[in-house]
Amino acid sequence: MNILLVYPEVPDTFWSFKHALKFLNKKVASQPLGLLTIAALLPTEWNKRLVDLNCMKLKQSDLSWADYVFISAMSIQKKSVLKIIKQCNESGTKIVAGGPLFTTEYEQFETVEHFVLNEAEITIPEFLKDISIGNTKHIYSTSDFPDIKESPTPMWELADFGNYATMNIQYSRGCPYNCEFCNITTLFGHRPRIKSVEQVLKELDSLYNLGWHKSIFFVDDNFIGNKKILKKELLPALIEWRKGKKGISFNTEVSINLADDKELMNLMVNAGFDMVFIGIETPEELSLAECNKKQNMNRNLIESVKLIQRSGLQVQGGFILGFDNDTQSTFQTVIDFIQNSGIVTAMVGLLQAPTNTLLYKRLMQEGRILASMSGDNADGTTNIIPKMDLDKLLSGYKHVINQLYSPLLFNDRVKIFLREYKAPKVKIKSDVSNLYKNVIAFIRSIYILGITDKERIYYWKLFVWTLFRKPKRFGLSITFAIYGYHFRKISEKCQ
Ligand code: SF4
């Protein structure tokens, strides 16, 4: 059996980092972890190929070779998904589809032969069993959550590492919280399920042995969902594993209560974590209560962010505008919060209601759902009827984006962060090829940001400031200048 795993194109979005990747000569931020895991769940004797449309083309010869095309996608990839389905239908190649987009909206794709929905560790074996007896169904779904200790090591070898800036890996699924707008708990449940330490180390070993000596992103919904085991087992094991390894650093997604646990922060930093993403959502207490973001309430959020930064972790933040309790003053409150917190990478989007979330159900009852959402967190669109007048919300949103990604405020934020940040004492052992690529990226930054860009004065201002005030953070500062260029390009699309 020949299986073609096709990953649809992700458009140019905040998290695609497309405008930043060209400095590193990379095509894509990260590899399609879901499809590589699916590949490992299929029989070993089947032939498998990966076509990632973010860096490759889907050729007719690929489709002619394949007995089945497996597609996994998120909402944001819908446009590309429709194109792939059309190509497959025209060439008569059968499709097997799964992942969040199909799990929540499979009815919209009438010409797909098989849907393997929810978590593949349960539904793929059922599909395989039916293939073996020649009696397949249209839909395979489950309301159960598998024990991910049974999940195999993804087939990293199908991906061309040269295309990617970072590699994704997963330790846990599910989140104990219950934020109203979030579909993570709908898809993966409240009880964080974890892999065994041996399993994670095996995955890391196989990545490292295949030559990956760079950043690794734990794509967990909330990495600190089970702190006890993390502190007792995984983090000490990662500290040991990383000894002598070159170029490896980790980053992940956590909830803000990380700031309450000094021991956990220290362990993460010692294990090689250098950055965490946190859903801060809003500094408005009433809006936090509205969306049930309990863990963010009744605390000094700026101080929490700074505690994490001082521990040696950069904080990236997600913010939302358009809650029912937001007012005209919220826009400036959000700008001030982000500036004062020194969150350089701050993604601000409008409130959207993913299908089947608590928010979706509430707004459906109130007659406030317009359509399915775009899946882009920061494209200035929404699928709900907000309480605030839509034109006022949109103009306030554009104002926030324009301000935050203006070179002036962006540079200020970098400086605020660099003043606060305490770099970890544990150093990452450098890999020569990474050093070479960083030098090339630096030279490109001089040409693109320092010579040809209309905002070049800000590049040189930050360059000089860092050289004199924070010379040890010079590399980080240049990385931020490159990020700032990407964010500015993305914000220009929202005008
Ligand atoms: S903490 Fe994050 S992952 Fe968990 S429910 Fe809230 S938004 Fe979702």
- In this model, does residue 427 exceed pLDDT 80? no
Residue 244's pLDDT is 87
Provide the token pair at 102. Answer: 């199909």
Q: How many angstroms does the Cα of residue 105 sit away from the middle of ligand 1?
A: 21
**Across residues 26-32, what is the average pLDDT?**
94
Which atom of ligand 1 is nearest to 295's Cα? 1
User: What is the percent of the chain with per-residue pLDDT over 70, rounded to a whole number?
Assistant: 98
**Atom number in ligand 1 closest to CA 175:** 4
In the predicted structure, residue 215 carries a pLDDT above the cut 70: yes
CA of 113 to the centre of ligand 1 (A): 33
Ligand 1 centre to CA of 288 (Å) is 12
58 lines ligand 1 (CB under 6 A): no
Q: What pLDDT, in 10s, does the model give residues 266-321?
A: 999 999 999 999 999 999 999 999 999 999 999 999 999 999 999 999 999 999 99
Mutate to test the pocket of ligand 1, among 170, 173, 177 (most ligand atoms within 8 A of CB): 177
Which residue in this structure is represented by tokens 């497309």?
Answer: 18
Which residues lie closer than 8 Å to 242 by C-beta, 6 or more apart?
248, 271, 272
Residue in 30, 67, 71, 29 with CA at minimum distance from that of residue 50: 71
If one compares 52 and 371, the residue with the highest pLDDT of the two is 52
Stretch 348-359: mean pLDDT, rounded? 93
Distance between Cα 449 and ligand 1 center (Å)? 36
Q: What is the pTM for the complete model shown? A: 0.93
pLDDT of residue 186: 84
Q: Are 488 and 20 in contact (CB under 8 A)?
A: no
- Tell me the per-residue pLDDT of 446-473, one tens digit each, with 9 for 90 and over: 999 999 999 999 999 999 999 999 999 9
For 166, residues 6+ apart whose C-beta sits below 8 A from its C-beta are 29, 30, 214, 215, 216, 217
* Ligand 1 pocket check for 182: Cβ under 6 Å: yes
User: What is the C-alpha R_g of the chain?
Assistant: 22
Confidence check: pLDDT of 335 > 90: yes
CB 291 within 8 A of CB 280: no
Residue 411 Cβ < 6 Å to ligand 1:
no
Q: Residue 221 CA: which ligand 1 atom is closest?
A: 3
Q: Is the CB of 377 under 6 A from ligand 1?
A: no
Residue-by-residue DSSP string for 165-212: EEEEE-SEE--S---TT--HHHHH-SS-EE--HHHHHHHHHHHHHTT-
* Structure tokens, 241: 């594993």
- CA dist., res. 69 & res. 199, Å (int): 28
Give the distance (Å) from ligand 1 centre to CA of residue 108: 27
State the distance from the centre of ligand 1 to the C-alpha of 97, rounded, in angstroms.
26
99 within ligand 1 shell (Cβ under 6 A): no
Whether residue 36 contacts residue 100, with contact meaning beta carbons closer than 8 Å, is answered with no
Tell me if 283 sits within 8 A of 320, measured CB to CB: no
| Cβ(487) – ligand 1 distance below 6 Å | no
Which tokens sit at 48? 């498998």
Please spell the DSSP secondary structure of 225-289, one letter per residue: TTHHHIIIIIHHHHHHHHTT-BS-EEEEEE-GGGGG-HHHHHHHHHHTEEEEEEEEE-S-HHHHH
Q: Residue 236's closest CA among 228, 247, 245?
A: 228
Using DSSP, state whether 216 is helix, strand or coil.
Answer: strand
pLDDT digits (tens, 9 = 90+) for 361-402: 999 999 999 977 776 766 778 999 999 999 999 999 999 999
Is the Cβ atom of 175 under 6 angstroms away from ligand 1?
Answer: yes
> Does the beta carbon of 179 lie inside 6 Å of ligand 1?
yes
Ligand 1 centroid to Cα of residue 174, in Å, is 9
Q: Is 258 in the pocket of ligand 1 (CB under 6 A)?
A: no
- Which residue has 């930050």 as its token pair? 462
Least confident of 4-13, 104-113, 185-194, 409-418: 185-194
Please, what is the angle between helix 301-311 and helix 262-271, to 10°?
A: 40
User: Other CB atoms closer than 10 Å to residue 257's CB: what's the count?
Assistant: 18
Looking at residue 493, its pLDDT comes to 77
For ligand 1, the distance from its centroid to the CA atom of residue 163, given in whole angstroms, is 30
Distance 354 CA to ligand 1 centre (A): 13
- Count CB atoms within 10 A of the CB of residue 211: 12
Q: Ligand 1 centroid vs 180 CA: distance in angstroms? A: 9
**Is 388 touching ligand 1 by the criterion CB < 6 Å?**
no
For a mutational test of ligand 1's pocket, the pick from 221, 257, 296, 358, i.e. the residue with the most ligand atoms closer than 8 A to its C-beta, is 221
- Angstrom distance (rounded) from CA 221 to CA 203: 19
First to last CA, the chain: 48
Residues 6+ apart with CB under 8 A from 359: 180, 181, 291, 351, 353, 384
Residue 26: pLDDT over 80: yes
Q: Each residue of 175-213: pLDDT tens digit? A: 889 999 998 888 888 888 999 999 999 999 999 999 999
Q: How far away, in angstroms, is 252 Cα from ligand 1 center?
A: 13
